[in-house]
Every structure is written in C-alpha cells, then in structure tokens.
C-alpha cells in the first residue's frame, strides 16, 4: 500500500502541475457526488411512485367490499358500475408501471402476472354476483368468494411493498455513502492540502529564514514539477545570485569606491578650473595657473601654452613651465601638427602611450626630443575655433587614461572659452569708451564749438567796427562777446559736472536728486521733484543713461527755454518706468522740432541714442499750458536683471 501511494505521489501528485491535480481531483469528486445525489433522487422518485401504487392497490380491497355491499342493496346498480370502472382503471394503471421503477425486474413481471390474476378473479367475482342476484348463490358463498378475491389483491399489494422496502434500503445506503464521501473528502482535502501546499510553504519559509540569517548557500529540493517546484527553482537561482553577489561584494565595493574617488578627482579638477576661469581676469596669471594645474594633473615634466595672435593669426608662446628660456625660444612659432608626430588631440580621439614619442623627423623644428622625448598636445578651442595649443612634455611615457585625456581636453576647451571671453570683455570696454568719447565730442560740438564759432564771428565784427571807428557798434559787439564768453564758461562747467557724474549706492532717485541740486545751484532755476509708485531696483547701466538724459534735458532748458521752474516726475509702474522733465518756458513750434531732428540736432540725437541703449522710448512735445516736456518710457523687463 505504501509503495502504491509513493508511486501515485511521484507520478501524479508531484509529477503534475498543482492546478492540474486540483482540477482532476475536483472533477472526480464532482462525478462521485453527482452520481450519488442522482441515485438518491431517482430512488426517492421511485418511492413516490410505488407509494402511490401501494395506496391504489390497497384501495382495491375496499372497493371489493363496497361492491359486495352495493350488490346487497337494491336500487344502487349505478354505483356498482362506477366502482367497477374505477377498479378496472386502477388495474390499468398498475399494469402500466414501468420496469425501471422496480429494483428487481422479476418482481415487476410477478406484479404483472398478479394483476392478470386480479383481473381473472374480478371476472369470477362478477359471475358470482350474477349468481347471487339470481338466487343461485347464497350469502356465505358470495362473501367467501369476496374473501378469496381480496386475498389475491393482498398478494399484489405485497409485491409492491416488497419492492418499496428494497428502495428504502437503497436510499439509506446512498445517504450513508454521501455522508461517508463528505467525511472522506474532507480528510483527503486536508491530507492533500498539507502534502501539496502547507509542507512546501513551510520549507520555503524556512529557506527564506535561512537566507535572512545570511546562509546564502541554502537550497530547496522539492523534486516536484508543480508550481512550488518552479518557485523552488526560482528561490535557488535567487540564492545563487545572492551568494555570488555577497562573495564578490567586497571587490565590487572597492571598484565602485575607486570609480567614485576617480570621478570626484575629475570633478574637483573641473570645479577648480571653472572657478579659476570665472574669477581670474589677468591673462598672464590665468595661463600660469592653468599650466601649473595641467602639469600636476598629467604628471608631465614640462608644459607650454601657445595662443593665436588675433592680428597675425600665428601661434605665440603665452607661457611655459619646466622649460629653460633657451628651450622656450626654440619652441616659439612651432606647430606640432605640421610635422610627423601624432600627439595632437583635436576631435576627441585618444592617443595610446606608444604613440607619444616625438618623431625623429621633427628634430629640425621641435628640438625637444633629446631632453623630453615624450609629448602630448591638446587643442585649445573656443566653441569651434582653435585659438591655441597645450603641450605636455615628459622624459618617460605618459600614463594618462582615456578618461583623463578627455578631461584635459574638456578643461582646454573651457580655457579657450575663458580666454575668448576675456578678449570679448576687453573689446566691450573699448567699444564703451569709444561710444562715450563720441558722445563727449558731440556735446563739445553742440556747446563749446558753436559758442567759439559765435565768438569768432563777433571778433571779426569788432575788428571791422574799430577800423571804421564805429564806437557804438564796437561796444555792442563787446557785450555780445562778453555774453558768449559767459555762455561758453557755463557750458564748460556743465560738461565738467556731467563728466564727473557718479551713481550713488542709494540708487536712481538719489542720483537724480544730486543732478537737480547742482542744476539749481548753477542756474538759479527752481526745481520741483516727485516720485510715484512702489520703488524697485534699477540696473546700474539703466540708471546711468537715465541720469545722462536728465542732464541733457536740463541743459536744453538752461539754453533755450527761458524758464524759471523745472519739474521732474519719476513714476515706478508695474510694467514700465516713466520719467517727465517739464518746464514753464517759451516752448517751441512743432515744425521747429521736426526741422532740428532732420538736421541732426546733437542734443536731441544724444538723448534718443541713450534711450535706445536701454530699449526705451523718448518723446519731446509742447505742453498745452506752456513750456516743453521730455518724456522717457523704459519697459520693466529691461530695467533690472533680478528683483
């Protein structure tokens, strides 16, 4: 029995998938349960049918005695006929009982034979009744014949009852089997659940517990082809991977640590060089620090930086480290990629150590091979333009990896961008100086040059008046000359004051207040000042141009307006900055302003040019209540870089 169970366990329970085993077992259980329930229902239906047959067969005896009673009672012949027809109908139904309703087929045949006997006995009973009615048969004989008839009916009822008894026994057996099946099913389910599910789960839990304790050599051997066998295989694979990882963890940590240290070193170099390029603005100092850093990082014995001259486009030595003056002089104006060496790094290619030896064919121009036979050269680029080269020399082959070569190449690109940025900043400063000189020249031309030209004409008029002895005209001309000299003097003072303008740390408002205070002291023209809105920060370049525009507008008021009051309003709006310079002078005609703009009036041109530098709009118009107004509007997005 044990061997049979083991064979069944190996071939079916453990040799098949758990889902298939469950489907087969449930199918078998459903088949057995359905069969037993079906048999029980069939037996119950037969019991109902036979119970009805027993009742009807039993009623035949009552009908026999009732027909005897009716026979003895005169005048109820019709009731006898009815009872006889009912009797015959019951026999007909008993004859139609199906053989399948009986446990034993022989008993069904006996039942049919007994029905035939009852029918024969019925005919005998009817003959005896006729004899009794005719007086040929006495009462006792007729009752005896009725007793014999009921005896035949009793045998018929007994046959049906016997088969019914067998059906009751069968039903009880089926009910008992259902009960046994339920108990056995529960026991088998528990056994299979324990054998197929609980035990594997316990073993799997034990394996997980062992892994949790660090025993990565734990393995599960289920020996099954079901789902738990697959889980066990996956567990074993996981344990093997964990064992492998744990076994090589120290080496991997060491490798990752070395990689992180290397990466940190590279990032530190990049950070240091980036900080240097941003903070240092002296080219010679920048080159020296750059060479020192690259020499230390690469392990070279000497290095040279060449930069391209912006005018001649020739490479010139910008600095050296580790070389004598004589070696540097020999190296001047030498370009490595014009010879036979392959050490030039331009487009990301990496150079192997065996390629770093200076080619013998370059002795005529390089003259470095004897002292420092190994060289590695990097291109210094600004975006796409090559603006210089970095040469690293060594007595022994370099040990630079490809990553370090790429790092040096990246730093050289940053170095090139920093140099180009310094050059562009220098050009910007020169352009700014030239622009201010141009504005100064325009201011001198618009004021002092015109005053001197006027004085020159008045001197000529004075000479002519003196030669003709016109004393009155000479005196009048002297007054003009005196007035012109005073005007020229005022213009010079104003220009000197404007040239010395400085933006105070308090911002635009304080700067404008200082300008207006000086204007009031120099001209005795009253000033009115107001500020509107929430004050916000204004960039220094914008402040400077606004101050210059105010100075030029006030200068025009002094020269042309003949005003005694000037009002300056500054409005800080949400989307723009507005400035108005208004006077109560004589104003001007619109066509006069248009004519001056077409003629290129220097003062108006200077103000509009300065407004354009800060993306502002300048408008000059005549006030309805008299005088002129200069309006400046600057959009807020151009006013400051940070809130």
- pLDDT 10s digits, 566-604: 999 999 988 889 999 999 888 887 777 666 665 655 677
> 55 and 130, same structural domain?
yes
Strands (E), 181-300: none
Which residue in 374, 251, 387, 237 sits closest to 308, CA to CA? 387
Residue 470 belongs to some domain of the structure? no
> 268 and 178, same structural domain?
no
**Which of 424, 448, 463 delimits the end of a domain?**
424
pLDDT below 50 — which residues of the chain? Answer: 337-361, 364-365, 502-505, 641-643
User: What is the rounded distance in angstroms from the CA atom of residue 169 to the CA atom of residue 163?
Assistant: 10
- pLDDT 10s digits, 324-382: 777 777 666 555 544 444 444 444 444 444 444 444 445 544 556 566 777 778 888 77
**Which of 407, 424, 441 delimits the end of a domain?**
424
- DSSP state, residue 357: B
Residue 48 belongs to some domain of the structure? yes
Cβ 83 vs Cβ 63: under 8 Å:
yes
Residue 228 belongs to some domain of the structure? no
> 126 and 62, same structural domain?
yes
Residue 432 belongs to some domain of the structure? no
Question: What is the CATH number for 280?
Answer: 3.30.450.40
> 507 and 409, same structural domain?
no
> 358 and 267, same structural domain?
yes
Total tally of structural domains belonging to the chain? 3
> 394 and 521, same structural domain?
no
> 175 and 33, same structural domain?
yes
CA angle 370/373/376 to nearest 5° reads: 145
Residue 335 belongs to some domain of the structure? yes
Which residue in 189, 157, 186 sits closest to 54, CA to CA? 157
> 279 and 199, same structural domain?
no
The residues facing 629 across adjacent strands are: 582, 621
Question: What is the CATH number for 526?
Answer: 3.30.565.10
> 535 and 398, same structural domain?
no
pLDDT of residue 643: 40
pLDDT of residue 359: 46
Cβ 514 vs Cβ 488: under 8 Å:
no
Show the tokens assigned to 348.
């990301």
Residue 150 belongs to some domain of the structure? yes
pLDDT of residue 530: 92
- Sequence-separated (6 or more) residues with CB below 8 Å from residue 388: 305, 306, 307, 308, 315, 318, 379, 380, 416, 419
**Which of 180, 206, 232 delimits the end of a domain?**
206
Long-range contacts of 167-173 (CB under 8 A, 24+ apart): 167/43, 167/46, 167/47, 167/50, 167/103, 168/47, 170/39, 170/43, 170/103, 171/40, 171/43, 171/44, 171/47
> 516 and 604, same structural domain?
yes
Residue 449 belongs to some domain of the structure? no
Show the tokens assigned to 604.
């108006």
> 521 and 410, same structural domain?
no
Which helix (DSSP H) or strand (DSSP E) does residue 478 occupy?
helix 471-499
Long-range contacts of 94-100 (CB under 8 A, 24+ apart): 94/53, 94/56, 94/57, 94/156, 97/49, 97/53
User: What is the rounded distance in angstroms from the CA atom of residue 246 to the CA atom of residue 231?
Assistant: 22
Residue 608 belongs to some domain of the structure? yes
Residue range of the domain that includes 143: 2-206
> 418 and 286, same structural domain?
yes
């Amino acid at each position: 029995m044990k061997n049979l169970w083991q064979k069944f366990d190996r071939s079916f329970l453990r040799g098949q998938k758990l889902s298939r085993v469950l489907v087969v077992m449930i199918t078998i259980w459903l088949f057995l349960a359905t069969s037993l329930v079906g048999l029980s229902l069939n037996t119950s239906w037969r019991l109902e049918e036979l119970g009805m047959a027993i009742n009807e067969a039993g009623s035949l005896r009552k009908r026999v005695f009732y027909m005897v009673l009716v026979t003895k009672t005169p005048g109820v012949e019709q009731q006898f006929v009815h009872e006889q027809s009912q009797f015959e109908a019951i026999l007909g139904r008993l004859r139609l009982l199906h053989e399948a309703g009986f446990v034993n087929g022989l008993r069904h045949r006996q039942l049919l034979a007994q029905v035939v006997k009852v029918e024969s006995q019925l005919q005998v009973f009817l003959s005896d009744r006729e004899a009794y009615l005719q007086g040929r048969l006495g009462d006792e004989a007729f009752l005896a014949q009725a007793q014999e008839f009921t005896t035949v009916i009793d045998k018929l009822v007994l046959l049906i009852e016997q088969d019914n008894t067998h059906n009751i026994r069968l039903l009880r057996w089926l009910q008992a089997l259902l009960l046994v099946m339920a108990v056995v099913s529960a026991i088998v389910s528990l056994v299979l659940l324990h054998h197929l599910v609980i035990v594997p789960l316990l073993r799997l839990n034990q394996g997980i517990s062992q892994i949790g304790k660090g025993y990565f050599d734990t393995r599960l051997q289920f020996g099954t082809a079901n789902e738990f066998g697959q889980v066990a295989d996956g567990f074993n694979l996981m344990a093997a991977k964990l064992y492998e990882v744990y076994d090589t963890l120290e080496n991997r940590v060491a490798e990752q640590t070395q990689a992180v240290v290397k990466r940190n070193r590279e990032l530190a170099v990049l950070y240091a060089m980036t900080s240097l390029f941003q903070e240092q603005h002296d080219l010679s100092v920048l080159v020296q620090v750059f060479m020192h850093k690259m020499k230390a990082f690469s392990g070279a014995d000497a290095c040279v930086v060449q930069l391209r001259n912006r005018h001649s486009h020739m490479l010139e030595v910008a600095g050296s480290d580790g070389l004598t003056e004589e070696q540097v002089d020999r190296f001047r104006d030498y370009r490595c990629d014009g010879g036979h060496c392959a050490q030039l790094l331009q487009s990301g290619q990496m150079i192997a150590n065996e390629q770093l030896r200076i080619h013998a064919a370059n002795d005529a121009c390089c003259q470095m091979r004897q002292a420092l036979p190994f060289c590695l050269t990097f291109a210094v680029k600004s975006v796409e333009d090559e603006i210089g080269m970095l040469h690293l020399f060594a007595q022994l082959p370099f040990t630079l990896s490809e990553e370090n070569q790429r790092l040096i190449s990246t730093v050289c690109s940053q170095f090139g961008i920093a140099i180009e940025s310094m050059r562009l900043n220098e050009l910007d400063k020169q352009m700014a100086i030239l622009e201010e000189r141009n504005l100064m020249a325009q201011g001198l031309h618009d004021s002092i040059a015109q005053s001197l030209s006027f004085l020159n004409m008045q001197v000529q008029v004075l000479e002519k008046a003196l030669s003709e002895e016109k004393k009155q005209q000479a005196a009048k001309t002297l007054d003009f000359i005196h007035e012109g000299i005073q005007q020229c003097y005022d213009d010079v003072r104003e220009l000197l004051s404007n040239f010395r303008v400085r933006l105070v740390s308090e911002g635009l408002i304080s700067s404008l207040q200082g300008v207006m205070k000086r204007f009031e002291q120099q001209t005795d023209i009253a000033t009115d000042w107001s500020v509107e809105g929430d004050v916000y920060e204004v960039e220094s370049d914008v402040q400077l141009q606004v101050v210059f525009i105010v100075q030029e507008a006030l200068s025009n008021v002094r020269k042309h307006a003949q005003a005694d009051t000037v009002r300056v309003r500054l409005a800080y709006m949400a989307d723009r900055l507005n400035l108005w310079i208004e006077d109560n002078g004589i104003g001007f005609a619109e066509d006069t302003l248009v004519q001056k703009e077409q003629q290129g009036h220097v003062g108006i041109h200077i103000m509009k040019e300065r407004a354009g530098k800060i993306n502002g709009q300048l408008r000059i118009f005549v006030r309805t209540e008299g005088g002129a107004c200069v309006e400046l509007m600057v959009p807020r997005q151009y006013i400051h870089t940070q809130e």
